[in-house]
């Protein structure tokens, strides 16, 4: 069993923005005391304006509203929308504001990539969905393919201090006097039967918690592993764990990004496909739209949903948050959703054809992989392990 699991939770799977945003807006509109929201991207589109309006309405009726945005991911957010929320009483912090293109400090790559929301310490949302209209996918069939979960129950005891602590930390590091936060008691009564825990990644005690949870589950797998991840460039330990699972008879399937979004990571990831295919691992590239999911199901019992990609930038640099569950019903629901995406929205690779790609395509993949390794070494973050 995964360490730290708490029983008595009710975790609801939300697929794409069509399920996530109405649930989030409803929870904010019902808030009576406090709203916390952390996101990497917040855009001034129809979805962004809808959520901003909900936050403003909450603040205007006396709810304490705390909004944390990443300085890089949300750098294009208009000052008009930001100032409007501030005027209505929303407190806003920018995590590592962008200093400009000419400032090439290493810590610019340390981003707040979590997508966490908590309302009245009684309901929370964890996942990979940013505050952006996922139906706006130029040149693609919408929506972006992603997941979040709605969380109720004892696991809120883990979520609440994580969000409040980061708010105080960022306030302090920006030279501002931390104000006493309006914090209500966590409503952690048992409301269901699911076992769950929150895992975070930071730069101190929890640098590898998410990765280690994946590795423990993969090493314990007996029948099937499905991982859907938008940016997949695992280190040696992760690759070895997947290959060893396949060698002992576990069915391993990877649902990965087929559309080119970030070219360097896209081609670097493809350098690893050969060894996976040779080990009998199935690789399916999602082409229907942009894949943004960061989820996994193992043995239809263990599941995770969150913000962490399996690449060096997520695993070594970004603040991330994932929910891990051990529950057959939830895992079965996520498994069915992923299998449908594999069957209807992806193209699975054939080993022999992959090995006989043109030489320039193979060279491009290994060149991209070498560049990523070099970048990580130059940044002082060591090997991709």
**DSSP H or E segment with residue 194:** strand 194-201
Helices and strands, number each (H, E), in the chain: 12, 15
Catalytic residue among 36, 64, 113, 266: 113
Active site residue 299: yes
Catalytic residue among 36, 64, 120, 327: 120
Place of tokens 């709203």: 35
Exposure string (b/e) for 144-180, b if CB count within 10 Å is 16 or more? bbbbbbbbbbbbbebbbebbbebbeebbeeeeeeeee
- Three-state SS at 235: coil
Active site residue 361: no
In 3D, which of 169, 163, 35 has the Cα closest to residue 89? Answer: 35
Q: How far is the C-alpha of 250 from the C-alpha of 296, rounded, in Å?
A: 15
Catalytic residue among 36, 64, 115, 266: 115
CB 162 within 8 A of CB 321: yes
Environment class of 244 (CB within 10 Å of its CB; exposed 0-12, middle 13-18, buried 19+): middle
Catalytic residue among 294, 311, 327, 335: 294
Residue 64 contacts by C-beta under 8 Å, 6 or more apart in sequence? 33, 34, 35, 91, 181, 182
Measured CA distances, 53 to 14, 120, 124, 204 (Å): 22, 18, 19, 35
Active site residue 120: yes
Active site residue 206: no
Catalytic residue among 36, 266, 292, 335: 292
Catalytic residue among 299, 311, 327, 335: 299
**DSSP H or E segment with residue 342:** helix 328-345
Q: How far is the C-alpha of 373 from the C-alpha of 12, rounded, in Å?
A: 38
Mind telling me the catalytic residues? Answer: 113, 115, 120, 292, 294, 299
């Amino acid at each position: 069993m995964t360490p730290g699991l708490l029983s008595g939770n009710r975790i609801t799977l939300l697929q794409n923005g069509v399920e996530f945003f109405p649930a989030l807006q409803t929870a904010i509109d019902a808030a009576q005391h406090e709203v916390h929201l952390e996101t990497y991207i917040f855009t001034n589109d129809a979805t962004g304006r809808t959520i901003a309006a909900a936050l403003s309405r909450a603040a205007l009726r006396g709810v304490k509203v705390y909004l944390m945005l990443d300085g890089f991911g949300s750098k294009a957010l208009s000052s008009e929308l930001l100032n409007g929320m501030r005027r209505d009483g929303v407190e806003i912090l920018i995590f590592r504001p962008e200093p400009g293109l000419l400032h090439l400090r290493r810590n610019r790559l340390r981003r707040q990539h979590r997508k966490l929301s908590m309302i009245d310490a009684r309901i929370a949302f964890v996942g990979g969905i940013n505050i952006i209209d996922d139906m706006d996918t130029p040149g693609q069939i919408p929506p972006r393919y992603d997941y979040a979960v709605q969380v109720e129950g004892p696991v809120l005891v883990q979520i609440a201090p994580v969000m409040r602590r980061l708010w105080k930390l960022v306030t302090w590091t920006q030279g501002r006097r931390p104000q006493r936060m309006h914090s209500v008691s966590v409503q952690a009564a048992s409301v269901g039967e699911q076992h769950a825990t929150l895992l975070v990644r930071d730069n101190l005690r929890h640098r590898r918690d998410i990765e280690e949870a994946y590795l423990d589950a993969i090493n314990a797998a007996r029948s099937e592993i499905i991982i859907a991840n938008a940016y997949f460039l695992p280190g040696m330990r992760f690759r070895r764990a997947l290959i060893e699972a396949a060698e002992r008879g576990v069915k391993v399937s990877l649902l990965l990004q087929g559309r080119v979004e970030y070219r360097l990571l896209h081609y670097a990831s493809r350098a690893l496909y050969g060894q996976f295919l040779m080990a009998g691992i199935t690789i399916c590239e999602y082409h229907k739209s942009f894949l943004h999911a960061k989820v996994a199901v193992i043995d239809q019992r263990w599941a995770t949903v969150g913000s962490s990609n399996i690449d060096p930038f997520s695993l070594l640099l970004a603040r991330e948050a994932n929910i891990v569950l051990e529950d057959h019903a939830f895992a079965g629901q996520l498994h069915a959703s992923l299998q449908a995406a594999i069957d209807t929205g992806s193209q699975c690779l054939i080993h022999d054809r992959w090995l006989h790609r043109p030489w320039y395509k193979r060279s491009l993949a290994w060149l991209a992989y070498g560049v990523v390794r070099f970048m990580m070494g130059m940044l002082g973050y060591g090997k991709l392990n």
